Amino acid sequence: MRDREATCRKIVDAVGRLLASEGFRGVGVRAVAREAGVDKRLIYRYFGGLPKLMKAYADSGDFWWTVDELIGEDLPGPERDTAAAWVALALKRHLQALKRRPLTQEILVWELSERNTLTDELSVMRECRAAELFERLGEKIGGGGFGTVEWRAVGALIGAATTYLVVRSRTCDSYAGIDLHSEEGWAELERGIDLIVAGTVADVALSERPAARSGDG
């Protein structure tokens, strides 16, 4: 069992390296087997083929963050227990998680120019993680329905913007005068996240939010 787990890990890791170096067109059963140093028959035996192998890679925490990585119970919460603080914290940790994943950044660059069954697997996984994040955040902040706008929309816009900036930092030194190669530059962007979220999502303590009225869904 340990040998199988180790081999599966080697195969999944090989997928990531190929995606980063060759793009999606460079990922095939033979190429993955060669990169992993295994017989291609093991890919079919353990994963059933390329689509399920890509799903295994997409599901791995190496490619994308897990919800526990952003708002897990073992992590410290925000200084203030408000909807705005929780949303901002999750978005800033999303930014930090992508900065820690240079391989993911490479793959995201490739993904912008191609769409195929492999990119679809990665996209589906990200949508599932986002849905899980919104659900878990909703449980913490009571659905967020007491803000001035939908906090999910705010999260989507900021999440997309920060993802772009992380990817852009690979080939660009600055954006709008903000240094993308310094910790102060990223800290400035995180403060920007706080400002946007505080201006659009309820910033009252969750313990003090109005109780739901009878008949509210």
Q: Tens digit of pLDDT for each residue in 121-139?
A: 888 899 999 999 988 888 8
d(CA 27, CA 46): 17
Q: What percent of the chain has pLDDT over 90?
A: 52
Regarding whether 78 and 155 lie in a shared domain, the answer is yes
Regarding whether 139 and 193 lie in a shared domain, the answer is yes
d(CA 191, CA 185): 10
d(CA 22, CA 3): 28
| 151 pLDDT higher than 90 | no
| 7 pLDDT higher than 80 | yes
Burial class (CB in 10 A: 0-12, 13-18, 19+), 72: exposed
Regarding whether 112 and 37 lie in a shared domain, the answer is no
CATH of residue 123's domain is 1.10.357
pLDDT, mean over the chain: 87
Regarding whether 13 and 92 lie in a shared domain, the answer is no
Number of domains in the chain: 2
Regarding whether 104 and 19 lie in a shared domain, the answer is no
- Give the pLDDT mean for 188-204: 88
- Give the pLDDT mean for 163-192: 96
Q: pTM value? A: 0.82
Is the CB of residue 168 less than 8 Å from the CB of residue 175? yes
- Residue 53: predicted pLDDT: 92
CATH of residue 7's domain is 1.10.10.60
Q: What percent of the chain has pLDDT over 70?
A: 89
Residue 216 falls within a domain, yes or no? no
- Residue 19: predicted pLDDT: 87
- Residue 11: predicted pLDDT: 95
- Residue 180: predicted pLDDT: 96
- Residue 147: predicted pLDDT: 44
- Domain containing residue 13: 2-59
